[in-house]
Amino acid sequence: MTTVLPEDLLPGLDAETRKVFTLRPNRLLLVGPIAVALVATLITALMSGRYDPTGQPLTGAATIGLYLALVAVFVAAALLGIGVTGGEYKRKTMALTALFAPDRDRLVIAKYAAVAGIALVVAVVAEVVAMLVLAAAGRGKFEFGWPLLEVLGAGLLVAMCWAVLGAGIGLLLRTTGAAVWLVLGWAFVLEPLIWLVAKGFGAGGLTTVLPVSSTVAGVSAGSFDEAEVFAPTPAALVVLLLWTIAVGAAGWWDLRNRDL
């Protein structure tokens, strides 16, 4: 059987995937974004008016539910990543897991690949559900064109990035509670405050290198081009990838070099 991954990684990847789906809270976490995609997209599709090419977002007001679904996907992906790594430390099972792994490098790769793959699947399902709802209840209220395709494609990439970011943070902090508070607090409180303060001092452009700013810009398909706190979409995705690589590498280094 031909796979895109080396055969020696497959047992670890299979084990990490099974761990995720064995726990009921994880299954509920992964179903959440799909439910949001269904309900939120249906509500915005029914309540919005006809598509306005000059309105916001560029894809049409009916697609706001899709954006809400993507936010839910990104949050779930980050929390899943935290649970897969920080959860091992919380349950004091990381040492045992590392003992049965070929080496710590393969263990980290398996964890990152598992959470990224699962996040990708959840994002695909959520987007498909949202698009089916839009097709059924939002005819004439959105435009199926390049901007919407950009949103859908970027959403898949960003979901995988946040899964790896969460896993890397879980490895660094070695706990779930602090990691969850850090991610949610930064994403929904601290970084938005930084945007406001930086914009007030006329330095809003400096915030384009922050992870949440790059996330919003990456999936907005140019809807916020005039906002100085958001970079253009291609550049924003590159910034988020750099954050993912940096945090993922830091978590990898921590697992390799610190005692378990």
Q: Whole-angstrom Cα distance, residue 154 to residue 237?
A: 8
Domain that holds residue 182: 7-257
Q: Is 2 a domain residue?
A: no
- Write the pLDDT tens digit of every residue in 26-39: 999 999 999 999 99
What's the predicted TM-score (pTM) here? Answer: 0.92
Domain-located, residue 127: yes
| CA nearest neighbour of 76 among 173, 195, 158 | 158
Nearest to 179 by CA among 74, 90, 95, 73: 90
Considering the domain boundaries, does residue 224 fall inside one? Answer: yes
**Per-residue pLDDT tens for 100-136?**
878 888 999 999 999 999 999 999 999 999 999 999 8
Give the pLDDT confidence score for residue 194 in this predicted structure: 95
Tell me the mean pLDDT in the region 14-43: 93
* Residue 149 in domain: yes
Q: What is the pLDDT of residue 190?
A: 96
Domain presence at residue 72 = yes
Number of domain units in the chain: 1
Assess if residue 1 is contained within a domain.
no
Closest CA to 251 of 159, 161, 170, 187: 170
Whether 232 is in a domain gets the answer yes
- Encode pLDDT of 200-246 as tens digits: 888 888 899 999 999 999 998 877 777 788 888 889 999 999 999 99
Mean pLDDT, range 169-178, rounded to an integer = 95
| Cα–Cα distance measured from residue 172 to residue 190, given in angstroms and rounded to the nearest whole number | 20
Rounded Cα gap, residues 237 and 161, in angstroms: 10
Residue 152 inside a domain? The answer is yes
Q: What is the pLDDT of residue 2?
A: 45
